[in-house]
């Protein structure tokens, strides 16, 4: 059972266009597994998820229950459990322990800019050449607020890594394809 359907409102179109039919997928921030279930139901890929299963401060501020998140995730994804690897913990710690590459990375963890930037940079190194990365919450929050939000992290990454990716979409999410060489130059 899903208590929130955020993914349905913001992620479906990009996932339909860019999720690989097979391969290895990394998902940072899976919450109750709505995006995870979509990926497992519409691809033959294996999915590795990273989450603390503790929820986030903005959820508490909006009165969204953060109890039993892992239990709901496990129940929602039960039928695909053989294709899921769960890595429980903070993404900035867990990402450093992964020694393999992914065809598709979905970054939907913390909304704080510094955390999101770490997730993007660390997972970028795990993304295969020509792989797709979707960074969620591109338009989440108030970009002009005193609290740096996800969009600031995404824009910072895009600036610093310019020439190493192709932007495929910028809407509620930012979708990029990793270049086929380490340092591409603009022509």
Has residue 187 got a pLDDT over 60?
no
Q: What is the pLDDT of residues 108-165, one digit of tens each?
A: 999 889 999 999 999 999 999 999 999 998 887 654 555 568 999 999 999 999 999 9
- Domain edges within the chain: 22-178
Tokens 């393999």, residue located: 100
Q: Residues with Cβ < 8 Å from 11, sequence gap 6 or more? A: 35, 38, 134, 136, 172, 173
Question: What percentage of the chain carries pLDDT values higher than 90?
Answer: 67
Q: What length is written for the chain?
A: 187
22-178: CATH, from 3.40.50.150, 3.60.15.10, 3.90.79.10, 3.60.110.10 = 3.40.50.150
Bridging pattern class, strands 46-51 and 127-135: unpaired
């Amino acid at each position: 059972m899903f208590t929130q359907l955020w993914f349905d409102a913001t992620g479906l179109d990009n996932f339909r266009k860019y999720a690989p039919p097979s391969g290895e997928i990394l998902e940072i921030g899976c919450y109750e597994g709505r995006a995870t279930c979509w990926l497992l139901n519409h691809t033959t890929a294996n999915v590795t998820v990273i989450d603390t299963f503790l929820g986030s401060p903005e959820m508490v501020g909006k009165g969204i229950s953060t109890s039993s998140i892992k239990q709901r995730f496990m129940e929602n994804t039960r039928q695909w459990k053989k294709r899921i690897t769960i890595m429980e913990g903070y993404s900035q710690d867990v990402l450093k322990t992964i020694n393999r590459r992914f065809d598709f990375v979905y970054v939907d963890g913390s909304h704080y800019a510094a955390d999101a930037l770490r997730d993007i940079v660390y997972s970028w190194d795990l993304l295969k050449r020509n792989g797709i990365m979707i960074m969620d919450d591109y338009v989440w929050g108030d970009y002009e607020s005193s609290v740096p939000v996800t969009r600031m992290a995404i824009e910072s990454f895009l600036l610093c890594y310019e020439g190493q990716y192709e932007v495929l979409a910028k809407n509620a999410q930012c979708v990029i394809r990793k270049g086929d060489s380490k340092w591409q130059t603009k022509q």
